[in-house]
Homo-oligomer: A and B are copies of this chain.
Amino acid sequence: MESTPEQRPVPRETRFDADVARYAARARGMVASEIRALFSVANRPEVVSLAGGSPNISGLPLDVVGSLLNDLVLDRGVAAMNYAVAQGYPPLREQILEVMRPVGIEANADDVVVTVGSQQALDLVTRIFCDPGDVVIAEAPSYVGALGVFAAYQCDVVHVAMDDDGLIPDHLDTAIASVIASGRRVKFLYTIPNFQNPTGVSLPQERRHAILEICRKHDVLVVEDDPYGLLGFDGEPNRALRADDPARVVYLGSFSKTFAPGFRVGWALAPHAIRDKLVLAQESATLCPPTFSQHVVSSYLERHDWRGQIKSFREMYRERRDAMLDALDDFMPASMTWTKPGGGFFVWATLPEGLDAKAMSPRAITERVAYVPGTAFYADGYGSQCLRLSYCFPPPERIREGVRRLAAVVEQELELRETFGPMHLGPGRGVESPGPGLT
């Protein structure tokens, strides 16, 4: 007797879906970020996206890049297209020392490990240090991609409050002491000291010293993530934490914002013993980072005026930052606050009391403007009153238009709140984990 459709066994295609027990425990921490869900709508042409963090690289001289690539293939294509050592192309590691010099770092090329963007550097650092349940200390709020890595390795993130000068040293001291007192292991402090993602704020020099002192006292490693360090709008770059404590700091750098992200070339500079472990981890993860990309970046640094290019990127981003701050001043209600970044890509804004950035997001999309709700940047559900506004990608007039649209949405929300009371709120309001920009 033939089986009817109802009697047929469940088709095999669905079995791995159904059987979640098959996956590793860590796979439970792998969930789509709030940013990702936004991007399909944010990328529609009619929407002004203040959501993305992609650099604007349209200023790169494509003719120069094209011709140096052609030369690269003809001159040393066979080497540039084959496997190479896991630690990275030695001449590039030397050149990376030059790139780190403006932030005060003196190092040996032997302590540099090239990675698939600095994202992979963070992945490898977490891989070698963190067992499930280990604690990572991070700013509140922090980079969403870092929180994703920590979740994937089943770390517990403990956020430390910031103000307009970044991480607050006293809170850091208390947080570390309290984690240690509870018998848990703090594996490292993860910090973005310059033009932080998502807040745009930077640590002043004296706080850097205080933070290093606290980490020394508690014997905690520092992971210093510095993708925006050379993209400051005023004066000289800030001195890296790594420059003042080479043995305690793993420094992560990237060419994604100073050249182009599509080559996926970043690096970690680490104390020697950690460097060894990172190379082994890299070998196992990829055999070697993309050889060709490394040759491209090396050739670009050698043949192009990369310092001049960064200068022109800085000017372009400064103009966009100004457009955003001016528009915020011009259009936003007085009860809204925001940070004033001195570099980088982001402004962190706090909505008027009683408004919820996540609940407001669909309404903003309807009004053709996108941003990232603040909760994406907290491991603990805080940040619902906040949002990240990026000025890196749209041109100034689009930024102004986007902020104008957003201000209209905020005004509507305020009217609704007047009429119906506060919106739905997340578990935390940023009171216990205050963010910057509230002053």
Could you mark each residue 1-35 of chain A with 1 if its beta carbon is under 8 Å from any beta carbon of chain B, else 0?
A: 00000000001111111000011111100111100
Contact at A292–B27, with CB atoms within 8 Å? no
Partner of A123, one of B58, B84, B285: B285
Contact at A261–B129, with CB atoms within 8 Å? no
Tell me if A312 counts as interface (CB < 8 A to partner B). no
Contact at A81–B57, with CB atoms within 8 Å? yes
Which residues of B sit under 8 angstroms from A262, Cβ to Cβ?
80-84, 290-292, 295
The smallest beta-carbon distance between A31 and chain B, in angstroms, is 7
Contact at B128–A30, with CB atoms within 8 Å? yes
- Contact residues, A38-79 vs B (CB, 8 A): 54-55, 57-58, 60, 62-63, 65-67, 69-74, 77-78
Contact at B273–A82, with CB atoms within 8 Å? no
Tell me if A119 counts as interface (CB < 8 A to partner B). yes
Tell me if A263 counts as interface (CB < 8 A to partner B). yes
What is the CA–CA distance of A248 and B14 in the complex, to the nearest angstrom?
A: 10
Most buried by B among A30, A58, A187: A30
Contact at A273–B16, with CB atoms within 8 Å? yes
Tell me if A289 counts as interface (CB < 8 A to partner B). yes
Contact at A247–B82, with CB atoms within 8 Å? no
Which residues of B sit under 8 angstroms from A69, Cβ to Cβ?
66, 69-70, 73
Contact at B284–A263, with CB atoms within 8 Å? no
Could you mark each residue 376-404 of chain A with 1 if its beta carbon is under 8 Å from any beta carbon of chain B, else 0?
A: 00000000000000000000000000000
Contact at B78–A286, with CB atoms within 8 Å? no
Majority SS at the chain A contact face? helix
The smallest beta-carbon distance between A60 and chain B, in angstroms, is 7
What is the CA–CA distance of A63 and B74 in the complex, to the nearest angstrom?
A: 7
Partner of A30, one of B72, B81, B284: B284
Contact at B13–A129, with CB atoms within 8 Å? no
Interface size class of A (residues with CB under 8 A): 35 or more
Which residues of B sit under 8 angstroms from A246, Cβ to Cβ?
13
Partner of A145, one of B129, B151, B280, B284: B284
- Contacts known (A69-B73, A123-B284, A285-B123); A16 close to B274, Cβ less than 8 A: yes
The smallest beta-carbon distance between A135 and chain B, in angstroms, is 13
Contact at A25–B131, with CB atoms within 8 Å? yes
Tell me if A324 counts as interface (CB < 8 A to partner B). no
Contact at A22–B221, with CB atoms within 8 Å? yes
Tell me if A352 counts as interface (CB < 8 A to partner B). no
Contact at A24–B129, with CB atoms within 8 Å? yes
What is the CA–CA distance of A131 and B132 in the complex, to the nearest angstrom?
A: 11
- Contacts known (A13-B271, A262-B83, A272-B13); A119 close to B62, Cβ less than 8 A: no
Which residues of B sit under 8 angstroms from A148, Cβ to Cβ?
283-284
Tell me if A138 counts as interface (CB < 8 A to partner B). no
- A275's closest neighbor in chain B, by CB? B16
Interface residues of chain A, those whose CB is within 8 Å of chain B, are 11-17, 22-27, 30-33, 36, 54-55, 57-58, 60, 62-63, 65-67, 69-74, 77-78, 80-84, 116-117, 119-120, 123, 127-131, 134, 145, 148-149, 151-153, 187, 221, 245-248, 256, 260-264, 271-274, 277, 280-281, 283-293, 295-296
Q: Top 4 nearest A-B pairs by Cβ distance?
A: A262-B291, A17-B273, A66-B73, A81-B260
